A = this chain, B = another copy of it.
Amino acid sequence: MHTLADIAARFGLTLRGDGARIVRGVGTLAEAEPSQIGFLANPAYRSQLATTRAAAVVVAEKDAAHATGDVLVSRNPYADFARIAALFERHENAPAGIHPSAVIAADAMVDDGAHIGPHCVVGARSRIAAGAVIGPGCVIGEDCVVGPDCRLVARVTLAVRVRLGARVLIHPGAVLGADGFGLAFDQGSWLKVPQLGGVVIGDDCEIGANTTIDRGALGDTVLEEDVRLDNQIQVGHNVRIGAHTAIAGCAAIAGSTRIGRYCLIAGGAGIIGHLEIADRVTVGAMSLVTHDLREPGEYVSGTPIQPKREWRRNAARFGQLDQLARRVRKLLGEGTDD
């Protein structure tokens, strides 16, 4: 329970309204109750400023005049809303100590200040730092390092040689450090190429549910600090992802590709192997990157969605597109062009 004045002071916001008003939570403009704080980050919702029941609204100065009730003026309304929302987040208690059902290798080192949940396994030579929370059912293999204040929510696997920095958050079902997909073809069969490297995850990274990050073949797969991966992302061996890059669900990055800093990769996008992606590149949803992207900017592939009947006619023409272009050249009297 906080007052509007408390919240304004804590986060350096300018309050225009009743500082004594009690706040018990947060909500959207459309659904906030009179005891909750709302926010405006997306201009599409500006008209809701006039109708919201929220106790107060976090807004930019330029939008403040549209509000009919109390406002908290912010330089970055979405970020300040996130900070306010965190006041109302319930955190489960995860006391230091090892649950009796956990199985810890004799030569693993678990700090007295770490929490190891039920049914966890920690393998040979692995180290768990103070403040780390290893939730139920996690498996940490050999030669792993979990840094201070990391949180593995539940059922996370760190297979082999995975080193996490500080404050890394990993959601259930994620698998880090499994074998990269390395195969040599020899005499009619596949021969497995040993995957001798590891995975290095920088401070403040977040890894989504059921995401997989393979360990390097030679050398490591690397996420620099503050990389944010959503659910069901696949990161191949020896990929390197630059700091502050965010990747949405179901994207996939093939082996040895290097992605720059501050990139945004949308959901379902694919990047083939051995590419270089510059800093501040944005890749569209379900787009496939097949060559280096050396300049910042937004890149897209694919075709627009259409009713099937229309799509079918257009798609058939795509299959003859080169021929169509040649005919146009002919009409223009330009002869063949390749």
- Which residue from B124, B190, B288 sits with its C-beta under 8 Å from A286? B288
Interface size class on chain A is 35 or more
B208 touches A178 (CB 8 A): yes
A159: min CB distance to chain B, Å: 6
8 A Cβ contacts from A105-156 to B = 117-119, 121, 123-124, 135-137, 139, 141-142, 153-155
**Cβ–Cβ < 8 Å partners of A266 in chain B:** 272
Report the nearest B residue to A153, measured CB to CB.
B159
**Cβ–Cβ < 8 Å partners of A83 in chain B:** 191
Verify if A327 is at the interface (C-beta below 8 Å from B).
yes
Give the distance in Å from the alpha carbon of A179 to the alpha carbon of B231 in the complex.
Answer: 10
**Cβ–Cβ < 8 Å partners of A25 in chain B:** 196
B299 touches A305 (CB 8 A): yes
Query: In the complex this chain forms, how many copies of it are found?
Result: 3
The digit string for A273-309, where 1 denotes a CB below 8 A from any CB of B, is 0000000000111111111010001111111111110
B303 touches A302 (CB 8 A): yes
Give the distance in Å from the alpha carbon of A196 to the alpha carbon of B60 in the complex.
Answer: 23
**Cβ–Cβ < 8 Å partners of A81 in chain B:** 184, 193
With A137-B137, A186-B79 known as contacts, the answer to whether A300 contacts B304 (CB < 8 A) is no
Verify if A165 is at the interface (C-beta below 8 Å from B).
no
